[in-house]
Amino acid sequence: MSVFRRALAAELAHLWRDRFDLALLTLVPLVCLVVMGGMLSQGSPRGLGVVIVDQDRSAASRSIVRAIGAVDALKVVDDVSGLAEGLSAIRRERAVAVVVLPSGLGGRRADATPRTIEIFYQTAFLSTGALTSALLQATITADLARQAPEDAGVAGVALLRVPLPGVEVTLLGNPSASLEWYLGLLIGPAILHLLIAVTCAASLGRELVDGSMGPWAVRVGAPAAAAAGRLVPHVVVGTLWLCLWHVWLTIGQGFAFTGAIGLVAIGGLLLFVATAAIATLLVTLTGEVATSLSASVIYAGSALAYSGASLPITGGIVVARIWSAILPLTHYVTLEMDQTIGVDIAVWARQAAILALAALVAGGGATLLLRRQARRSA
């Protein structure tokens, strides 16, 4: 039996005996993905509270209020007389935005000074506030446009003769602007990346003797092949969980990749190979299980924040951009997001090559360290 197969068989036997390690690869990912799926299953926020300050009390202002109330994502929670009351509702977390409809809004254009509708929204939760503001602007603008001919009176007849320019916006990759699809593509791989980084480091860490992998490397004879065989179950399980997560998002929830989902799966495999290689490097480099696990949590746990998908990296300090560029998750997320809009395979190949290079560099460094430690222990 080859070194690779012996290491693979030994690791599978260990996982079968050690229920805790087995749970880290089976039960923990399942629980994490189920909880996350339930959390995101609503897709987009619903019932975002809006307070109305109607200073006009006209048919036009009432029409705008009805239009806001008809939007699924918004909910008119109160109609108050002053802005202070509206802002108080935000501070009491009853609402995320206040709409002020000024006096004179319902007057005819020729008789009234142009009025400005004001929208106040809280930005403590940036995405929620931005979504509320965007929905309010779109809803109010559409309703004002619908009322324009009536406001113009007889002159409105002339407006009907003038064709209005059309603007059509088409969203690519996420046509429904669903947070479930967007966040699911980010958080699922990030959680699995962290779990596999930890399980790989813990698996190799069991062979440390006095801060060295040397004795183990001498015993197995071919440490690179043995490490590969040992970590294959972790890579395979991580890839399978990622594929199941994508099956849930696509078949289960009805989202779709415009590109090839198979290319995303290959990218996931490369991500976990790189993760296993980095874990091997960390264990051989630090010689301590606790330090290796801590380092894994630090780099893999923060990888999503530095991926550029959730927070902007462009324009950031050089250190942040370099750190983002060397993290495997950054390139997997880019590869995955690219397939939501069906980018050319040459673009996919560039990100896949970077993931493969990360695995080769980390794995090559770990192999050199293992051989050196083996020579010292021989």
CA distance 92 to 260: 47
165, 199, 215 - which closes a domain: 165
Does one domain contain both 138 and 54?
A: yes
Quote the pLDDT of residue 372: 92
Nearest CA to 352 among 365, 338, 369, 340? 338
Q: Which residues of 293-307 are buried (b: 16+ CB within 10 A; e: fewer)?
A: bebbeebbeebbbbb
Query: What is the DSSP secondary structure assignment for residue 76, as one 8-state letter?
Result: E
Quote the pLDDT of residue 87: 85
Does one domain contain both 88 and 187?
A: no
- CATH no. for residue 139? 3.40.1710.10
Give the confidence band of 156 by pLDDT, cuts at 50, 70, 90.
Answer: low
Does one domain contain both 9 and 93?
A: no
Does one domain contain both 236 and 126?
A: no
Does one domain contain both 151 and 188?
A: no
Does one domain contain both 207 and 271?
A: yes
118, 142, 165 - which closes a domain: 165
Does one domain contain both 302 and 249?
A: yes
Does one domain contain both 220 and 341?
A: yes
Is the confidence at residue 150, as pLDDT, over 70?
no
Instruction: Supply 73's token pair.
Output: 């994502």
3-state secondary structure of 100: strand
Residue 246 lies inside a defined structural domain of this protein: yes
Give how many domains the chain has, as a whole number. Answer: 2
| 57, 103 Cβ separation under 8 angstroms | no
Per-residue pLDDT tens for 40-67? 776 667 788 899 999 888 888 888 899 9
Give the confidence band of 88 by pLDDT, cuts at 50, 70, 90.
Answer: confident
CA distance 250 to 70: 29
Does one domain contain both 228 and 365?
A: yes
Give the confidence band of 233 by pLDDT, cuts at 50, 70, 90.
Answer: very high
3-state secondary structure of 167: coil
Domain around 234: 3-41+176-377
CA distance 31 to 201: 21
Does one domain contain both 265 and 366?
A: yes
Give the confidence band of 155 by pLDDT, cuts at 50, 70, 90.
Answer: low
Quote the pLDDT of residue 128: 72
Burial class (CB in 10 A: 0-12, 13-18, 19+), 105: buried
Does one domain contain both 236 and 295?
A: yes
Does one domain contain both 130 and 224?
A: no
Residue 171 lies inside a defined structural domain of this protein: no
Give the confidence band of 84 by pLDDT, cuts at 50, 70, 90.
Answer: confident
Write the CA distances from 373 to 170, 287, 294, 368, integer angstroms.
58, 11, 22, 9
Quote the pLDDT of residue 113: 55
Give the confidence band of 117 by pLDDT, cuts at 50, 70, 90.
Answer: confident
| 300, 197 Cβ separation under 8 angstroms | yes
Could you give phi then psi for residue 257, rounded to 5 degrees? -85, 130
Mean pLDDT along residues 98-121: 74
Identify the weakest region by mean pLDDT among 100-114, 241-255, 290-304, 334-348: 100-114
Residue 170 lies inside a defined structural domain of this protein: no
Beta bridge partners of 49: 75
| 351, 334 Cβ separation under 8 angstroms | yes
Beta bridge partners of 74: 48
Instruction: Supply 170's token pair.
Output: 């088409």
Mean pLDDT along residues 291-303: 93
CA distance 189 to 300: 11
165, 195, 224 - which closes a domain: 165
CA distance 12 to 23: 13
